[in-house]
C-alpha cells in the first residue's frame, strides 16, 4: 500500500497536462518569439484561424488561461509569443503562474522591482527544475515591462499535507500557513472529479497483483486515497483561482485594459474546469478564454473533434521528435 501511495503522490504532483498525438491543414505562422510551427483552432467557429486573430480576441479578455504541456519546448515558445502579441496590442498584462507558490510572492515582487538579485530570488522561491528554459522568459518579460507576476499556487507542502490527511487538516494550519490556502473552497464529486480519477487510474501503480480480487478494505483504502489527492487538487485550483480573481481590476476609464494571463498545466483549465471554473464562480462577470496547447506529430492531419472541447482555442504545435506521450 505504501508503494502504491507513493506512486499516486508522484502522479498527483505531475498532474496538469496530457500530451497527445494526432492532428488538418493550414500554414504555420510567424510569431513575435520567432518561427514556431503551429495551427490555431477556434472551437466556437469550428475552424482554423490565425495566431494573430486569436491574440486580438485574447486582448479583449479579463482572464486568459493557457493550458500548457509541461517540458514541451514548442509550448513554452508559444507562451512567450502570447505575451509578445498582447504587448503589441498595447494592453496591460498581469502574469499568473502555477509554477510559483503564494508564500514566495514577496521574493518574486522584490526581484521584479530590483530589490533582490536573481540568484537570491531563485534560492528563496523554489523554482521548478526547468525554470531557466521554460518560465524565466515569462518572468523576465514581465520584469522588463513592469508587469505584475502572481505566485498563485498553494505551497506544495500544504497540498501534500491535504493529500495525506484530508480536508480536515486545513483546520489545523497555523495562521501564517492558512493565508496561503483559499479562504473558500469546494470539492464536488463532479465531472472534474471523474476526469481526475480517470487520469489517476490510467497510470500503472506498480501493483503486481492486478489480477487478484481486491478485498473490500483495500478498495475502500484506495478510494479514500484518491479522494484525498482530489481534495488537494481542488485546493490548488481554489487557491490559484482566489489569487487570479483578486487581481482582476475594477473597470475604470482612467486605467488601461488589463489582461491576466495565467499559465498552468492544461488539466487545471481544460473544459473550463479546475482553476478556470473556480475563477468563473468567483468572478461571474469576468470575460474568460481558455487556450489549450496540444503537441502533435503532424500538423497536416489533426482530428479537431477530439480536442476542440478542451478550450476556446486549441493551439496545435509539433511534438519533439524523441518525445513520448505522458500524462501530468
Looking at residue 244, what is its pLDDT? 98
Q: Is residue 135 part of a domain?
A: yes
Q: Is residue 115 part of a domain?
A: yes
pLDDT in tens, 178-198: 999 999 999 999 999 999 999
Q: Is residue 265 part of a domain?
A: yes
pLDDT in tens, 79-120: 999 999 999 999 999 999 999 999 999 999 999 999 999 999
CA distances (Å), 80 to each of 35, 71, 98, 120, 133, in order? 12, 14, 16, 24, 11
Residue 172: which residues within 8 A CB-CB, separation 6 or more? Answer: none
Q: Is residue 97 part of a domain?
A: yes
CA distances (Å), 214 to each of 3, 4, 217, 222, 259, in order? 16, 14, 8, 10, 50
This model's pTM is above 0.85? yes
CA-CA distance, 26 to 322, in Å (whole number)?
24
Domain limits for position 307: 2-206+215-249+256-318
CA-CA distance, 273 to 136, in Å (whole number)?
27
Q: Is residue 107 part of a domain?
A: yes
Residue 6: which CATH number? 3.40.50.11550
pLDDT band of 203, cuts 50, 70, 90: low
pLDDT band of 21, cuts 50, 70, 90: very low
290 bridge partner residues = 65
pLDDT in tens, 134-179: 999 999 999 999 999 999 999 999 999 999 999 999 999 999 999 9
Q: Is residue 63 part of a domain?
A: yes
The alpha carbon of 4 is separated from its chain's Cα centroid by a whole number of angstroms, namely 26
Tally of domains within the chain: 1
313 bridge partner residues = 42, 291
Taking Cα atoms as reference points, which of 168, 190, 169, 157 lies closest to residue 9?
157
Q: Is residue 303 part of a domain?
A: yes
Q: Is residue 186 part of a domain?
A: yes
Decide if pLDDT at 18 tops 80: no
Amino acid at each position: 500500500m505504501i508503494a502504491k501511495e507513493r506512486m499516486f503522490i508522484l502522479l498527483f504532483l505531475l498532474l496538469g497536462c496530457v500530451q497527445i498525438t494526432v492532428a488538418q491543414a493550414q500554414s504555420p505562422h510567424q510569431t513575435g518569439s520567432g518561427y514556431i510551427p503551429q495551427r490555431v483552432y477556434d472551437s466556437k467557429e469550428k475552424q482554423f484561424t490565425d495566431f494573430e486573430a486569436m491574440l486580438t480576441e485574447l486582448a479583449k479578455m479579463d482572464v486568459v488561461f493557457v493550458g500548457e504541456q509541461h517540458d514541451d519546448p514548442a509550448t513554452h515558445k508559444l507562451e512567450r509569443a502570447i505575451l509578445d502579441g498582447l504587448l503589441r496590442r498595447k494592453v496591460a498584462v498581469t502574469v499568473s503562474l502555477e509554477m510559483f507558490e503564494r508564500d514566495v510572492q514577496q521574493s518574486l515582487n522584490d526581484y521584479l522591482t530590483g530589490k533582490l538579485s536573481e540568484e537570491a530570488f531563485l534560492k528563496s522561491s523554489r523554482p521548478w527544475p526547468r525554470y531557466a528554459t521554460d518560465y524565466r522568459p515569462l518572468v523576465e518579460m514581465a520584469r522588463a515591462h513592469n508587469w505584475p507576476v502572481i505566485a498563485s499556487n498553494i505551497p506544495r507542502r500544504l497540498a501534500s499535507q491535504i493529500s495525506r490527511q484530508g480536508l480536515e487538516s486545513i483546520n489545523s494550519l497555523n495562521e501564517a500557513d492558512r493565508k496561503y490556502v483559499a479562504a473558500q473552497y469546494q470539492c464536488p464529486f463532479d465531472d472534474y472529479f471523474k476526469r481526475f480519477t480517470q487520469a489517476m487510474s490510467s497510470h500503472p501503480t506498480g501493483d503486481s497483483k492486478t489480477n487478484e480480487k481486491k478485498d473490500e478494505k483495500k478498495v475502500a483504502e484506495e478510494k479514500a486515497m484518491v479522494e484525498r489527492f482530489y481534495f488537494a487538487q481542488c485546493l490548488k485550483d481554489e487557491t490559484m483561482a482566489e489569487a487570479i480573481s483578486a487581481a482582476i481590476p475594477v473597470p475604470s476609464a482612467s486605467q488601461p485594459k488589463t489582461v491576466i494571463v495565467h499559465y498552468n498545466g492544461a488539466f487545471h483549465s481544460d473544459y473550463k474546469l479546475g482553476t478556470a471554473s473556480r475563477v468563473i464562480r468567483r468572478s461571474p462577470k469576468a470575460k474568460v478564454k481558455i487556450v489549450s496547447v496540444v503537441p502533435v506529430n503532424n500538423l497536416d492531419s489533426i482530428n479537431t473533434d477530439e480536442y476542440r472541447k478542451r478550450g476556446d482555442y486549441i493551439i496545435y504545435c509539433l511534438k519533439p521528435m524523441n518525445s513520448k506521450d505522458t500524462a501530468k
